[in-house]
Each structure stands twice: as C-alpha cells, then as structure tokens.
Amino acid sequence: MNKAELVEALTARLGDKKAATAALDAVLQEIQNAVTKGDRVAITGFGVFEKRVRAARTARNPRTGEAVKVKKTSVPAFRPGAGFRELVAAGKVPKAAAAKKTAAAKKTAAAAPAKTTARSTAAKSTAAKSTATKATATKATATKAATKTATKAATKTAPARKTAAKTTRAASSAPAKRATTARATTAAAAPAKATTTRSRAAATKTTRAAKKA
C-alpha cells in the first residue's frame, strides 16, 4: 500500500479526498516535527515515535570489510504499542475495524490468577524516604512522591541477583515470583562490572533521565 492507496482508503472514511490528503499530510508533518524536536509522540494502543540517539561507533563496510567510523547521530524510531502488536500477531483484523462502527472488541488474553492481592509490600515497609537515587525526585509531584522514591531506593533490601553469577540467582528466589525482592535500581548495580559486558544500561538510563527534565 503506497501513499496514494492510503489516501484512497482514508477518503472512504472521511468522505472527502482533498481532506484525506490534507489530513494525512498534517499528521505526518506533525509527527516529524515533534520527533525532530526530540519530543516523544505517544499514541496509546498504537505506538510511540521517538528520537533515538545512537552513539558513535565503528561499523563496517559490508562490501570491502573495512571498518568505518560512524559518528554520533539521531534517528527516528517507532515502538508499536501493545494493542497494535497483538493485532498483528493475531494476523487478522478482529472483525470489523475497516468500518467506522468502532466496537473494538476487548478480548485481551489470559486471566490474572491472584497476584494483585499482595501488591506492594516490601517496598513500603522497608524504606520511607532515603536520599533519592540521584535523578529520581526531580520534578517531584510533591504529593505522594515519597512513596515511589522509596520503592526505587529500597534496592539493597533484597540483593537477589545483580552482580551475582547465574548460580546465586536461581537460589535467591523461586522463578515465578521472587518473594519480596525489589528489582535492583541500577544505581546500586552500576559500580561493579561496568565496562566488561557492554554498558548499555547506563546509556539508556541517561537518556531517559534527560527526557524527564
């Protein structure tokens, strides 16, 4: 399906061809602008368009095999939302969807046994405020911000895995639901390994933090 066909399809929904063209164009333009400015365009159920920064690296010319230096750059990226994903995974449109009758049809997937009950436990009880992990409480909603910060800072409560090799890991807690354990909040995990594997986590984190500001 090319642009022309898409416009045609839109015309069927909107009624007017010119309007359809304009609409499509407008949408695309807006998304491009936003992403270019570094904004994240999040459309629930569809997906998220975002600017992704790619660090400088040494790629390789597949033809000659020689290494080439690729300097830092930014590229637009799209991450499909849950709805879109499972729609495509299903392979076929639910039933309608082509029609403007809405319906949507909510089928989701498996039912949740009985997890919700034992919601947040360890987190709350353990720490209360602590000194914030570093860049967390930035804009702090003031209200109940404390709670969340606590959760994140609670880290050291349950070591679980983290730096520990594959051995300790399994033992620390049963697969399915590892007891209380609050997942390691990076900050604590960082100091150890680092360079060895491939510091991806660090980079990612930085980006995220920046965006929040």
Binding site for its own copies (CB under 8 A): 1-3, 6, 9-10, 13-14, 19-20, 22-24, 26-44, 46-47, 51, 61, 63-66, 73-78, 80, 84-85, 87-93, 97-98, 161, 166, 169-170, 175, 178, 183
Contacted by 134, from DNA, its own copies, none: CB < 5 to 8 Å by type:
none
83 binds DNA (CB under 7 A): yes
Q: How many chain residues are in contact with DNA, going by CB under 7 A? A: 72
Contacted by 41, from its own copies, DNA, none: CB < 5 to 8 Å by type:
its own copies
Residue numbers 86-115 binding DNA by CB under 7 A: 106, 108, 112, 115
Q: What are phi and psi of 142, to 5 degrees?
A: 65, -50
Q: Which residues contact 72 (CB under 8 A, 6 or more apart)?
A: 53, 54, 55, 56
Q: Would strands 41-43 and 47-54 be described as parallel, antiparallel, or unpaired?
A: antiparallel
51 binds DNA (CB under 7 A): no
CA distances from 16 to 26, 79, 89, 97, 102 (A): 15, 31, 32, 20, 20
Lookup: tokens for 142: 């003031």
Q: What is the CA radius of gyration of the chain?
A: 23
Instruction: Out of 18, 95, 129, 211, name the contact with DNA by CB under 7 A.
Output: 211
CA angle, 208 then 209 then 213, to 5°: 115
Q: What secondary structure letter does DSSP report for 188?
A: T
Smallest distance, DNA to C-beta of residue 23, A = 15
- Residue number, 14 or 47, with CB nearest to DNA: 47
Smallest distance, its own copies to C-beta of residue 176, A = 8
Which H or E run contains 172? helix 166-172
